[in-house]
Amino acid sequence: MKKREIGKSGLYVSELGLGCMSFPDDLNVVKTIVDAALHAGINFFDTADLYAGGKNEAMVGEVLKGRRDEIILATKVGNRMIPGEEGWRWDSSKEYIKEAVKESLKRLGTDYIDLYQLHGGTMEDDVSETIEAFEDLKKEGVIRQYGISSIRPNVIERFLRDSSAISVMMQYSLLDRRPEEWFPMIREAGASVITRGTLAKGLLTGEGISRVGKVDGFAAYDAEHLQRTVGEVHETASDVHALALSFNLNEDVVSSALIGASSKNQLLDSIVAYEATVEKSEIASISQITEAHRYEQHRP
């Protein structure tokens, strides 16, 4: 599997990354998924302290024992869980980030994180304090690099402008092209995009037609427009799954396209799709079917 550099960081990640949020609550099944990913050349694993209340990080740490030097490990911070309370609250303070990273390190069973990401963000945050926390952790060797996971252009622009962040994780796919407007800004900042939602909740896989009738719209599409668009994409594409991956990776600002998998077979489907050949002319042609919507809120 090919690798790409995240920004100018010296971190080279596989073009397909494994988003760990969809792992089942079964360590043996998770191990089969991770083994298959590593065998296929996937070296980029993304989790978050929020997922399953920290259990996801713990499972990732367990199944990657003894393989730390083979992987680029990413996690996230900012959604603070309060013991005894349901849900979480946003906390991007320096004090909390420095406290939370220690807990993530314990769960992951490692003494450093390759890519530590702010898991959201608002314009009300004291961004200088947040960035200072990440920079301190870099100097201490606790993290190698940092980035942000957000779909808010104003938050992203400010964070990149005032920091040495190397990545922006965004929901991006053939059916959610809102981030495209901001790719030049991210590229100019020397950062890369990591895409999540690459397969649009399965709408861009072989199950897309059966799934689309069960969802009430997606991204900026209402239900009717979505059904029509997904149908046309499936009618036109030679392999929708392969096209979806190639569409994202056709953008040079994208360093890795995250895929989720709750079973080994789901992962293998994506690996087979990745290895299929998709002509650039087909990508360009089918791109005309979908719409490049814009974010209407949180604009700089």
Note whether residue 295 is domain-resident.
no
Note whether residue 280 is domain-resident.
yes
Q: What pLDDT, on a 0 to 100 scale, did the predictor assign at position 191?
A: 98
* Sign for the pseudo-dihedral over CA of 8, 13, 18, 20: negative
Residue whose entry in the numeric block shows the structure tokens 């499936």 = 234
**For the segment 49-61, what is each residue's pLDDT rounded down to a tens digit?**
988 888 999 999 9
Note whether residue 293 is domain-resident.
no
Note whether residue 297 is domain-resident.
no
The CATH number assigned to the domain holding 213 equals 3.20.20.100
Note whether residue 298 is domain-resident.
no
Instruction: Judge whether residue 157 has pLDDT over 80.
Output: yes
Note whether residue 206 is domain-resident.
yes
Q: What pLDDT, on a 0 to 100 scale, did the predictor assign at position 81?
A: 77
Percent of the chain whose predicted confidence (pLDDT) is above 70: 100
pLDDT band at 133 (very low <50, low <70, confident <90, very high): very high
**For the segment 103-118, what is each residue's pLDDT rounded down to a tens digit?**
999 999 999 999 999 9
Domain span at residue 56 reads 3-287
- Identify whether 51 is a catalytic site residue: yes
**For the segment 13-39, what is each residue's pLDDT rounded down to a tens digit?**
999 999 999 999 999 999 999 999 999
Report, as an integer, the average pLDDT of 214-220: 94
Instruction: Judge whether residue 126 has pLDDT over 90.
Output: yes
> What are residue 88's phi and psi, to 5 degrees?
-155, 170
Give the whole-angstrom CA distance, residue 67 versus residue 45: 12
Number of structural domains (the chain) is: 1
Q: What pLDDT, on a 0 to 100 scale, did the predictor assign at position 84?
A: 72
Residue whose entry in the numeric block shows the structure tokens 């690459």 = 198
**For the segment 176-189, what is each residue's pLDDT rounded down to a tens digit?**
999 999 999 999 99
Report, as an integer, the average pLDDT of 213-224: 95
Q: What pLDDT, on a 0 to 100 scale, did the predictor assign at position 39?
A: 97
**For the segment 71-97, what is each residue's pLDDT rounded down to a tens digit?**
999 999 998 877 777 777 889 999 999
Note whether residue 136 is domain-resident.
yes
One of 12, 51, 112, 295 is an active-site residue; which one? Answer: 51
Note whether residue 294 is domain-resident.
no
Give the whole-angstrom CA distance, residue 54 versus residue 181: 34
